[in-house]
């Protein structure tokens, strides 16, 4: 069967690549054409556009790139028509994917959505379009099933979170070997995850690095995102207490004692690696104040949202500063606080529904088509 998959970010590339791997196990004739990244490309098929060309952050950035976005939408529709897939699988990336889904449904294509748009956070009225344009929805957060099924009478499949599989299936890292090969010393590591897009890294990383002088007994390691070049990060590094390791975020987390993490999927990844963290976020002035008025959530991190209480500290916008970051970092390094954090992390993992999300989703997609 022919699968057209659209993922627009690094996290989508990861989850879609694992879904493709699972689809090949249930469908020996699986043929892929996709928008995504290197991980998807490693599974075979044709990469149409890389997510590096698609990532625009925040309201103001999207507005400035509207021409590019609309040009990509037009191109995508023509490419789907040429390929004529048995199913289109949308992976997160709702601003783009929901536009394609509306068109595709009208054209008679089968539409499946893996990793729901976060309409429970904002734009809840998009449920009307989802019910109209999406044939099957596969959700990965435990509260999403009730949100769709009970609140909006739209049946969905809760398949568990694919991060559990991604983390569980990776090879174990030997701490001593990893540190030696990457020029690290024997001190405990504090990981810095400043995001994946240039705009957010520029806003986040300088503040994260501003605390390093007070924690000389630790070494700080920046997890360089695959969407960026090494040269981009190097002008931020001004002291010897800081290292940069590219494209090895999971390896870094596996050896880390604590982490400072930009809000997003990385907050959940860090928790699943059982690393105490401080969640950070700072957007542009315009984007932040628009978001503040339309997003109705008590928390911004997936960890706290899933647990429905504060498990990890969130420093948002003006609260994200050197003074507060130092205070919160001291707290998560204090052994008296860490035991409670670990207990919460184990409870979080139980709520995520167990392993096998990619396989469950692949089987459901394939059997529905059959």
Residues 46 and 173 reside in one and the same domain: no
Question: Cα-flanking dihedrals φ and ψ of residue 288, to 5°?
Answer: -65, -45
Q: What's the pLDDT score for residue 205?
A: 95
Residues forming beta bridges with residue 114, ordered by sequence position = 91, 138
pLDDT for 318-333, tens place per residue?
Answer: 999 999 999 999 999 9
CA–CA gap between residue 167 and residue 325 (Å, rounded): 27
Residues 102 and 185 reside in one and the same domain: no
- Entry pTM: 0.81
Residues 281 and 343 reside in one and the same domain: yes
Residue 45, pLDDT above cutoff 90: yes
The mean-pLDDT minimum among 53-57, 148-152, 357-361 falls in 53-57
**Confidence label for 196 from pLDDT (cuts 50, 70 and 90):** confident
Place of tokens 């019910």: 131
Q: What's the pLDDT score for residue 295?
A: 62
Residues 320 and 245 reside in one and the same domain: yes
Token pair recorded at residue 141: 């957060």
Number of domains in the chain: 2
By C-alpha distance, which of 361, 370, 369, 368 is closest to 25? Answer: 361
The mean-pLDDT minimum among 75-79, 120-124, 206-210, 366-370 falls in 120-124
pLDDT for 84-103, tens place per residue?
Answer: 999 999 999 998 999 999 99
Q: What's the pLDDT score for residue 285?
A: 56
Buried b (16+ CB within 10 A) or exposed e, 329-357: bebbbeeeebeebeebbeebbeebbebbb
Residues 71 and 179 reside in one and the same domain: no
Residues 208 and 343 reside in one and the same domain: yes
CA–CA gap between residue 292 and residue 285 (Å, rounded): 11
Q: What's the pLDDT score for residue 62?
A: 58
Residues 357 and 262 reside in one and the same domain: no
Q: CATH number, domain at 358? A: 3.40.50.2000
Q: What's the pLDDT score for residue 368?
A: 93
Residues 75 and 212 reside in one and the same domain: no
Residues 361 and 337 reside in one and the same domain: no
- What is the residue range of 264's domain? 168-351
Percent above pLDDT 90 for the chain: 76
Question: Cα-flanking dihedrals φ and ψ of residue 228, to 5°?
Answer: -125, 160
């Amino acid at each position: 069967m022919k699968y057209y998959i659209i993922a627009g970010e690094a996290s989508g590339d990861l989850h879609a690549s694992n879904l493709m791997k699972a689809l090949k196990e249930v469908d020996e004739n699986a043929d892929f054409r996709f928008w995504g990244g290197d991980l998807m490309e490693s599974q075979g098929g044709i990469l149409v556009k890389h997510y590096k060309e698609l990532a625009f952050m925040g309201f103001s950035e999207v507005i400035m790139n509207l021409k590019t976005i609309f040009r990509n939408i037009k191109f995508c529709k023509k490419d789907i028509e040429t390929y004529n897939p048995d199913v289109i699988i949308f992976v997160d990336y709702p601003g783009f994917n929901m536009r394609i889904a509306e068109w595709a449904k009208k054209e008679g294509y089968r539409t499946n959505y893996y990793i729901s748009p976060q309409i429970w956070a904002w734009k809840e009225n998009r449920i009307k379009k989802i019910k109209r344009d999406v044939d099957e929805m596969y959700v990965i957060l435990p509260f999403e099933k009730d949100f769709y099924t009970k609140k909006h009478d739209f049946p969905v499949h809760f398949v568990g979170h694919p991060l559990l599989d991604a983390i569980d299936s990776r090879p174990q890292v030997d701490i001593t070997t990893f540190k030696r090969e990457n020029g690290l010393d024997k001190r405990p590591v504090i990981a810095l995850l400043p995001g994946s897009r240039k705009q957010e890294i520029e806003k986040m990383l300088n503040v994260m690095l501003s605390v390093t002088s007070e924690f000389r007994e630790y070494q700080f390691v920046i997890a360089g995102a695959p969407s960026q070049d090494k040269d981009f990060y190097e002008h931020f590094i001004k002291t010897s207490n800081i290292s940069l390791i590219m494209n090895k975020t999971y390896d870094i987390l596996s050896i880390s004692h604590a982490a400072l993490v930009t809000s997003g999927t990385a907050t959940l990844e860090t928790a699943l690696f059982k690393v105490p963290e401080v969640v950070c976020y700072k957007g542009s002035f315009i984007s932040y104040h628009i978001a503040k008025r339309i997003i109705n959530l008590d928390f911004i991190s997936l960890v706290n949202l899933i647990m429905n209480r504060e498990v990890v500290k969130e420093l948002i916008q003006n609260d994200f500063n050197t003074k507060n970051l130092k205070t919160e970092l001291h707290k998560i390094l204090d052994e008296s606080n860490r035991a409670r954090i670990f207990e919460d992390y184990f409870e979080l993992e139980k709520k995520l529904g167990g392993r096998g999300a990619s396989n469950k989703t692949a089987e459901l997609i394939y059997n529905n088509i059959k």
